[in-house]
Amino acid sequence: MRLSTKSRFALTAMIDVALREKSGPVPLSDIAARQQISLSYLEQMFSKLRQHGLVESTRGPGGGYALGHRADSITVADIIGAVEGGEDRRTLDASRQGKVVARDATKDLTQDLWDALNSKMLDYMQSITLRSLVLQQLAKGVGVEERKVANRGVFKKPRTEPLQATAPNSVFALGQSLLARG
């Protein structure tokens, strides 16, 4: 499994989305501003995350991205595997078995070490959930501000208060009010 800056940015963005999951879909432009990540880079990453079902997108005003599953069922390995194009555990095990038969023992003396390290790293990343990362951030005191909902809409009319009529509503009522005054 590869670890790169792309993996780090993807984890950061997913934590950002998970922190704000109760506020509705999170726009990528908001994540880009908060986390100092390029918007086009985020679009590429979230495309891969969406293809793997880790996030869902909502279009239009008030749209953005929300988690595709519960935060406690998404692991670090899922996120990194989605953005890095990694393989899952079964594919890795099957490819290792094929390599054992195909490779000569004298060609790569350290391959078993790297395979074991990769396996341990994958096990560790599968044990860390997005929910645990969010709880760590909240314990550190990371503030989650409420998103202001913009008044968008081309044809939205301003709200007007109903008028309180104090004048008489007919000619007869006017006449009675004038007679009463005297």
Q: What are the boundaries of each domain within the chain?
A: 5-85+129-139
The whole-number pLDDT of residue 13 equals 94
pLDDT tens digit string along 129-163? 999 999 999 898 887 777 665 555 566 666 777 77
The pTM of this model reads 0.69
pLDDT tens digit string along 59-103? 988 889 999 999 999 999 999 999 998 554 444 454 445 555 555
Mean pLDDT for 116-141 is 92
CATH number for the domain running over 5-85+129-139: 1.10.10.10
What mean pLDDT value characterizes the chain? 82
The whole-number pLDDT of residue 3 equals 82
Q: Please name the amino acid found at residue 1.
A: M
Mean pLDDT for 106-125 is 86
Residue 42 in contact with residue 29, Cβ under 8 Å?
no
CB burial class (10 A; 0-12, 13-18, 19+) of residue 17? buried
Instruction: Tell me the CA distances in angstroms from 92 to 28, 108, 118, one per residue in order.
Output: 32, 18, 9
pLDDT at 30 over 70: yes
| Sheet strands (E) in the chain | 55-58, 64-67
pLDDT at 123 over 80: yes
Residue 79 in contact with residue 9, Cβ under 8 Å?
no
